[in-house]
Amino acid sequence: AQSVAQPEDQVNVAEGNPLTVKCTYSVSGNPYLFWYVQYPNRGLQFLLKYITGDNLVKGSYGFEAEFNKSQTSFHLKKPSALVSDSALYFCAVSPTLFGGYNKLIFGAGTRLAVHP
Amino acid sequence: DVKVTQSSRYLVKRTGEKVFLECVQDMDHENMFWYRQDPGLGLRLIYFSYDVKMKEKGDIPEGYSVSREKKERFSLILESASTNQTSMYLCASSSGAGNQPQHFGDGTRLSIL
């Protein structure tokens, strides 16, 4: 079965330190990869995506993500965390063999807590 | 900016009622989606639609139906609400290409008593 794993329920980091939120996937073919962020009582906001090309992609709010095909991973990173980055982060995968309907498979989410 | 609007932020209904959740997008997107979000489970796809009057079942369609009579509007219907349908419901839309992100509404927190 196709799936997305976010192995950490919560990540704690001090403000100013680098952060990493992990994501691995088990999907056939060459999927499209996405990261979304959710603030309290809000919907999901798109952060960045990997389609093809350079393995390091940059997105909104200073976030970036590194694609590793051999490890089937797509980890979210930021060089210097802010307290305002505290939120729920979702990794999502769009299998390219799905007939082009842009369906997404989501991970369970990782709560990021940035402490002052 | 794409705007996806869900008609209610909070809704309380009783067991057995027929419940309608409405979603409207303003970007002429072909695809629209309904998810439910539960803690620890992420987002699970209920139904999606890739064109007017077209619909496809997602991963958890039981107990739900949908309607898409106009391109901009996608409705989720709980035929006979049950307490296990208490959840956060999120609507999303996207353009036709698979490499485009989905855009989400702010969600409807539905409680079934």
| Cβ atoms B99, B33 nearer than 8 A | no
Q: Is B100 on the interface with A (CB under 8 A)?
A: yes
B81 Cβ contact partners less than 8 Å away, ≥ 6 residues apart:
B13, B14, B15, B16, B17, B18, B19, B112
Q: What is the three-class DSSP state of B37?
A: strand
Q: What is the three-class DSSP state of B42?
A: strand
Which residues of chain B does A104 touch, with a Cβ-Cβ cutoff of 8 Å? 43, 45, 102
Say which CATH superfamily domain A3-115 falls into.
Immunoglobulins (2.60.40.10)
- Cβ within 8 Å, pair B103-A46: yes
B36 Cβ contact partners less than 8 Å away, ≥ 6 residues apart:
B43, B44, B46, B60, B87, B88, B89, B90
- Give the separation between CA B9 and CA B85, rounded to whole angstroms: 16
Q: What is the three-class DSSP state of A98?
A: coil
pLDDT digits (tens, 9 = 90+) for B25-50: 999 999 999 999 998 888 999 999 98
Q: Which of A96, A98, A109 sits opposite B42 (nearest CB)?
A: A109
Question: Which of A22-36, A92-106, B81-95 has the weakest average pLDDT?
Answer: A92-106
Q: Which of B40, B48, B100 sits opposite A103 (nearest CB)?
A: B48
| Cβ atoms A25, A32 nearer than 8 A | no
Question: Which of B2-11, B33-42, B89-98 has the weakest average pLDDT?
Answer: B89-98
> What sign does the CA torsion over A109, A111, B1, B4 have?
positive
Which residue is closest to A95 within chain B, CA to CA? B98
Interface of B with A in 18-57 (CB under 8 A): 31, 33, 40-45, 48, 50, 56
- Give me the torsion for CA of A74, A80, A86, A88, rounded to 10°: 0
- What domains, with CATH codes, occur in chain B? 4-97+104-112 (2.60.40.10)
Looking at every residue in chain B, the average pLDDT score rounds to 93
* Alpha carbon of A36: minimum distance to chain B alpha carbons (Å): 9
First CA to last CA distance, chain B: 37
Q: Which of B42, B97, B107 sits opposite A106 (nearest CB)?
A: B42
pLDDT digits (tens, 9 = 90+) for A61-89: 999 999 999 999 999 999 999 999 999 99
Which residues of chain A does B104 touch, with a Cβ-Cβ cutoff of 8 Å? 36, 43-45
